[in-house]
A and B are shown apart, each in its own frame.
Chain A
Amino acid sequence: MKTKITVALIAVLSIFFAEGDAFAQGGYPDHAVRMIVGYPPAGPVDIIARIMSDRLTEIWSQPVVVENVSGAGGNIAGDRVAKAAPDGYTLLVATNAQLAVNPSLYTKMTYDPAKDLMPISQAVYSPNILVVPNDVPAKTVQELVAYARSRTGEKLTFASAGVGTTQHLAGELFKAMANIDIQHVPYRGAAPVITDLLGGRLTVYFGAISPLIPLVREGKVRALAVTSAERFGASPDLPTMIEAGFPGFVSILSIGLMAPAGTSLR
């Protein structure tokens, strides 16, 4: 007996892996499915949601509609799906930030991601990379730590695309594990960080890999490590933070599909 969640899982896997087709089973879905995205259009989560919705529309022969409900770090979207009918027709395109960070970050959660949502599959992930401007002489993470220690009293900074982002948390984790004095500077998004990075106005940046890789290749910034658990395909020469001497240091953006808790059975 196939559950709806199983059908949805097979469909998700088929987006990326499928050899055979995953047809609609047990009559599901027989009408439009909504995919709620807690982040604005054109960002990475939205792009993944649209890849999934396009393929699921094809596979299911039913419209799969993306709805962007941004705000409160994705909590508004999470809450909406947590409280939706558990019938398989409302799904959340969920990030690990929504699920694993927000419950600690927000004192007033209106739902419990661990109890009120049901996991289907983590579809994709992207690591951050640790980069420094060219005027910071460090070629390795250990050299960066030594550099920071030698500059006590100077105002060394790490940037992020905003307070509470995975990049901010990665910077704080680095600061704590390395026991160095670097000050967080939050920016409004990644674009202004990159401007200041190129201008040498900050010391350390854990940033999303895709906009940084071209700058690294052009020699405009220096990458020291990747924050995935294992080396990443797009940057195979870059050591992980774990290899660089920071056990357990993993900071990724993962994007998956969740359903309201209780979604199951035919």
Chain B
Amino acid sequence: LKVLALADVRAKLSDIGMEVIGNSPAEFAAAIKTETPQWAKVIKDAAIKPSN
């Protein structure tokens, strides 16, 4: 039953173009820490302001 449920979940994910990460809290924090300065620079250089 559980295996079916998981297969179902994976099919749903695939339908919407998603893949599983499932990392640890430390890895999650590290990923966000890596990503933040990249977008900070893009937002600053292109002077992007939120629309809402």
Q: Which residues of A contact B (CB under 8 A)?
A: 5, 9, 12-13, 15-18, 21, 44, 47-48, 51, 55, 58, 71-73, 96, 99-101, 103-106, 113-114, 118-127, 162-164, 168-169, 172-173, 175-176, 184, 186, 208-210, 213, 232-234, 248, 250, 254-256
Contact = CB atoms under 8 A, between A and B. Distances in A.
Contacts of A248: 38
Contact of B36 (A72, A100, A126): A100
**Which size bracket describes the interface of B in this complex?**
35 or more
Contacts of A101: 36, 39, 43
Interface of B is mostly: helix
Contact of A172 (B14, B27, B42): B42
Contacts of A119: 25-26, 28-29, 32
Contacts of B6: 16-18
A126 B25 contact: no
Contacts, number: 144
A214 B21 CA distance: 24
B18 A126 contact: yes
A55 B49 CA distance: 38
B20 A9 contact: no
| Residue of B5, B12, B20, B32 with most chain A CB atoms under a 10 A cut-off | B32
A100 B24 contact: no
B20 A47 contact: no
A242 to B, nearest CB: 13
A96 B48 contact: no
| Residue of A119, A176, A186, A232 with most chain B CB atoms under a 10 A cut-off | A119
Given A16-B6, A18-B2, A96-B32, A121 B42 contact: no
